[in-house]
């Protein structure tokens, strides 16, 4: 029987030796004692086990991207928590450059008896590498279309707060791509999500030309997501007319569109055609819903063979001049009713064959990137957690803080540029919906991308 006790204890000792420290809020415990007799361990720790082969397997701590989760090195019977601490911050679904859906963050605490947790706050801040710059924590990740230096970028962290519920585990859901993926946009989400938009026609005689300055370095492992809010006209006489989406490379002036051969002259690529009956990819609110075009960079960082590293254009068109069969692009006028809605000459309309005019206001359109360079951390997030609590005697609220970084990993099944797919999959409401524990808001093929109704050209 003594041999059996020794085996059990050695198993516990081995597990204790596997623990590794990683979070600043967790203190390393004393080293485990090898001799159970000298340790004077409680008798229940060495309860007789009839068959050693039936010992329950111990869980393996594995944090995919952030490194090992910190645990104390001492057996549970040797160490008791004396204050509230943050044990781990994890993302069950690792950041994936091909995934365009919700993420979640799990926070595990250690809470001693008679202590009360009042709030657990998660602040999520994107971290990114700007073109030509060294990596800097909290660098600008959210740019307006006209902005090339980040001076007007909106870089506030996303803050979510949970009330203490007596547990030691807190789940934060609905961390959306719009919250953490590097972005180039015309208007902030505060404007597009909360204000009713106006309509402007999209057809052969009203082609919408949207110009994006791109401050981000394009690398091989880059996903490139084009989003816009456009709907077919209410009247739909046959035959149906789809919405064509063109990508135009860097270095093209607006005057280049003053020609009937602009597609050839600018080397534009038709990257998607949205059908009239296609659903939106997701909805943020009743005022903002988006189709998404999924693209990716090749080994040279080119998207559809085009250099988009400094700037690029997205052009929306429909093969009709009939307003009843046209599409409507949703936008917010620059008429004083909505602030900060000046596009600074980055939105134009091509009317007829040769007339290109500047358009005031802000279309509900933006572009997201998600990047991972081989051997380098390019884009990611920092999760900051703050816990407010009181001890058994009540009194002043105390706090404990910790943080953890996560980066987009290199996904080996990312398709090459020629196999990029474009939506639209089933509607996902980022505002209210989490559809599965693994945070996939849409069906996925083995390629890692959503199912396609149209293949990128």
Lowest mean pLDDT among 202-216, 323-337, 406-420: 406-420
Q: Which sign, positive or negative, has the C-alpha torsion 49, 53, 54, 59?
A: positive
∠ Cα 339 177 451 (to 5°) = 125
37-47 average pLDDT score: 34
| DSSP category for residue 60 | P
Instruction: Give CA separation, 392 vs 115, 290, 306, in Å.
Output: 5, 50, 63
How far is 372 from 394, CA to CA, in rounded Å? 47
- The pLDDT tens digits for 432-447 are 322 222 222 333 222 2
Residue 337 is predicted with a pLDDT of 67
Residue 353's Cβ-count burial label (10 Å; 0-12, 13-18, 19+) is exposed
∠ Cα 66 366 324 (to 5°) = 145
- β-strand pairing of 142-144 with 198-202: unpaired
How far is 370 from 292, CA to CA, in rounded Å? 14
Residue 179 has pLDDT above 70, yes or no: yes
What pLDDT band is residue 224 in, cutting at 50, 70 and 90? very high
- β-strand pairing of 116-127 with 158-163: antiparallel
How far is 208 from 229, CA to CA, in rounded Å? 12
| Cis check: omega of the bond before 270, within 30 degrees of 0 | no
SS3 268: coil
Lowest mean pLDDT among 125-129, 254-258, 339-343, 351-355: 339-343
Domain residue spans of the chain? 1-63+74-80, 183-372+416-435
Put simply, whether the predicted model's pTM sits higher than 0.75 gets the answer no
How far is 296 from 224, CA to CA, in rounded Å? 5
Strand partners, 385: 122, 402
Instruction: Give CA separation, 68 vs 21, 23, 61, 65, 304, in Å.
Output: 8, 9, 7, 9, 38
How far is 329 from 363, CA to CA, in rounded Å? 7
Residue 206 has pLDDT above 50, yes or no: yes
Residue 243 has pLDDT above 90, yes or no: yes
Residue 40 is predicted with a pLDDT of 37
How far is 283 from 289, CA to CA, in rounded Å? 4
How far is 356 from 352, CA to CA, in rounded Å? 9
Please report the beta strands in 113-168, taking only residues with DSSP state E, as ranges in sequence order: 116-127, 142-144, 158-163
Lowest mean pLDDT among 97-101, 236-240, 305-309, 351-355: 236-240
């Amino acid at each position: 029987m003594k041999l059996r006790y020794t085996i059990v204890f050695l198993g516990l000792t081995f597990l204790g030796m596997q623990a590794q420290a990683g979070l600043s809020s967790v203190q390393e415990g004393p080293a485990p004692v090898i001799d159970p007799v000298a340790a004077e361990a409680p008798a229940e720790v060495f309860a007789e086990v009839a068959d050693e082969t039936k010992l329950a397997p111990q869980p393996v701590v594995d944090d995919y991207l952030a490194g090992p989760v910190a645990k104390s090195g001492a057996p549970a019977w040797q160490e008791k928590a004396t204050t509230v601490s943050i044990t781990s911050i994890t993302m069950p679904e690792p950041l994936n450059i091909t995934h365009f859906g919700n993420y979640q963050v799990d926070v595990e605490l250690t809470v001693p008896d008679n202590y009360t947790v009042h709030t657990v706050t998660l602040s999520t801040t994107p971290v990114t590498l700007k073109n030509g710059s060294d990596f800097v924590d909290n660098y600008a990740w959210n740019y307006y279309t006209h902005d090339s230096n980040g001076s007007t970028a909106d870089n506030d962290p996303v803050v979510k707060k949970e009330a203490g519920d007596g547990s030691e585990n807190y789940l934060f859901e609905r961390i959306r791509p719009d919250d953490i993926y590097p972005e180039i946009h015309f208007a902030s989400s505060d404007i597009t999500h909360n204000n009713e938009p106006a309509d402007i026609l999209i057809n052969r005689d009203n082609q919408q030309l949207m110009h994006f300055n791109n401050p981000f370095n394009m690398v091989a492992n880059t996903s490139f997501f084009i989003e816009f809010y456009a709907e077919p006209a209410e009247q739909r006489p046959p035959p149906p007319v789809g919405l064509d989406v063109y990508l135009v490379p860097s270095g093209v002036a607006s005057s280049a569109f003053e020609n009937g051969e602009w597609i050839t002259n600018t080397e534009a690529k038709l990257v998607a055609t949205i059908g009239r009956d296609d659903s939106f990819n997701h909805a943020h609110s009743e005022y903002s819903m988006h189709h998404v075009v999924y693209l990716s960079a090749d080994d040279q960082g080119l998207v559809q063979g085009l250099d988009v590293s400094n700037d690029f254009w997205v052009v929306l068109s429909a093969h009709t001049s009939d307003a009843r069969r046209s599409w409507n692009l949703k936008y917010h006028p620059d008429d004083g009713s909505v602030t900060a809605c000046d596009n600074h000459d980055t939105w134009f309309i091509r009317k007829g064959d040769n007339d290109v005019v500047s358009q005031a206001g802000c279309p509900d359109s933006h572009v997201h990137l998600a990047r991972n360079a081989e051997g380098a951390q390019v884009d990611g997030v920092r999760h900051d957690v703050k816990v407010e609590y009181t001890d058994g005697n009540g009194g002043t609220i105390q706090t404990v803080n910790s943080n953890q970084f996560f980066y987009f990993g290199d996904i080996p099944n990312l398709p090459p540029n020629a196999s990029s797919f474009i939506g639209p999959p089933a509607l996902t409401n980022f505002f209210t919906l989490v559809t599965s524990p693994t945070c996939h808001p849409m069906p996925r093929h083995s390629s890692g991308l959503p199912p396609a109704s149209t293949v990128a050209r």
